């Protein structure tokens, strides 16, 4: 394992020195030494987490467990992910990324980076859960990617280490205010693409009533650690709640009324495996924050420009520092 590790990073030492902002960096057989710190390399993943340090205020161990379990249960890249990638990147000119270093903050299994990698010069993938190892396997064909297991809010990299950064569906699960997390990341790159759960501010009132019921259920279910129970509940809800509601939305769509049916816009035409993944995410994550479009636009006090896409998924937006 150590020989393969060395070979993978031996042509990336210059990039590592630039990321960390120091020439005091050496590649060792099973680690990277940066000044007086050594970071282990496990299956091509550089581990920046220090288990001896007290828990970070931006780091929730139960969230790390949930997402590690989720991505180990749903490790595959799906055709639905390609369509979602196109939706998330409607504000981005991919041609402009051809010579860019792009950082995926909270990459999970690398589902967005997989489609983004061919468009950029190199990528930096960061995740605090074991999902980073799934991402490594999913992106095996690409050699221009560096993998880090780390707290994305506590990276030991230099300011402006990337040309473009993305954090899609991540910051609303942190134990700090999601919009404060966006502000804290403005030094990572000149452009930052973010997706945060929306507060249903562009939806009818009954959506928000249903959200309260779902939230009450989530708070109970997120305490369960048994993966067997989690997976059984996920399949049951996907089959008996999501799919029937989506079918009702499809019928309403014929009369131009699908916007009044929850779930339809998000899941119309998607496969059962993709639905199950989101059910798991929806009911087993303790921390969930939601923001309005107006709250996102208030980030203009911290960024030169904030552009919110009017399209699904709500809300994804591009910040320019």
Cα separation, 102 vs 157, in Å, equals 14
Question: pTM of the full predicted structure?
Answer: 0.95
Whole-angstrom distance between the N-terminal and C-terminal Cα of the chain? 41
pLDDT given at position 64: 84
Q: In which residue ranges of the chain is pLDDT below 50?
A: 1-2
Inter-residue contact 280 to 234 (CB < 8 Å): yes
Q: pLDDT value at position 63?
A: 87
- How many angstroms separate the Cα of 265 from the Cα of each of 246, 250, 271, 298? 9, 10, 14, 26
Question: What stretch of H or E contains 147?
Answer: strand 145-149
Q: How far are the Cα atoms of 11, 15, 152 from residue 1, in angstroms, in the given order?
A: 17, 22, 26
What is the pLDDT, as a whole number, of residue 143? 85
Q: Between vectors from CA 314 to CA 223 and to CA 319, what angle results, nearest 5°?
A: 105
- Specify the pLDDT at position 60: 74
Token digits for 52?
A: 């001896």
Q: State the architecture of 78-197+298-320 in CATH terms.
A: 3-Layer(aba) Sandwich (3.40)
**pLDDT computed for residue 5 by the predictor:** 57
Domain ranges within the chain, ordered by starting residue: 1-42, 78-197+298-320, 205-283
pLDDT at 4: 56
């Amino acid at each position: 394992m150590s020989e393969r590790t060395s070979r993978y990073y031996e042509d990336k030492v210059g990039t590592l020195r630039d990321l960390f902002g120091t020439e005091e960096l050496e590649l060792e057989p099973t680690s990277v030494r940066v000044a007086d710190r050594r970071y282990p390399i496990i299956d091509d993943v550089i581990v920046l987490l220090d288990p001896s340090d007290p828990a970070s205020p931006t780091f929730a161990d139960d969230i790390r467990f949930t997402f590690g379990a989720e991505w180990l249960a749903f490790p595959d890249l799906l055709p639905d992910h390609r369509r979602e990638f196109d939706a998330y990147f409607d504000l981005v000119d991919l041609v402009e990324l051809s010579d860019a270093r792009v950082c995926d903050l909270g990459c999970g299994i690398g589902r967005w980076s997989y489609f983004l990698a061919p468009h950029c010069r190199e990528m930096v993938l960061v995740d605090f859960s074991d999902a980073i190892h799934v991402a490594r396997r999913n992106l095996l064909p690409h050699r221009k990617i560096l993998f880090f297991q780390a707290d994305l809010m506590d990276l030991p990299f230099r300011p402006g280490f990337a040309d473009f950064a993305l954090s899609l569906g991540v910051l609303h699960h942190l134990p700090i205010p999601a919009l404060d997390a966006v502000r804290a990341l403005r030094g990572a790159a000149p452009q930052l693409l973010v997706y945060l759960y929306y507060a249903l501010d562009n939806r009818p009132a009954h959506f928000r009533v249903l959200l309260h019921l779902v939230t009450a259920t989530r708070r109970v279910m997120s305490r369960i650690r048994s993966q067997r129970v989690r997976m059984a509940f996920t399949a049951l809800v996907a089959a008996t709640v999501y799919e029937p509601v989506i079918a009702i939305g499809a019928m309403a769509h014929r009369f131009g009324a699908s916007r009044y049916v929850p779930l339809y816009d998000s899941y119309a035409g998607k496969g059962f495996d993709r639905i199950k993944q989101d059910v798991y995410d929806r009911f087993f994550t303790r921390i969930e924050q939601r923001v309005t479009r107006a709250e996102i636009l208030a980030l203009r006090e911290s960024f030169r420009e904030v552009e919110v896409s009017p399209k699904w998924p709500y809300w994804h937006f591009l910040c320019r520092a």
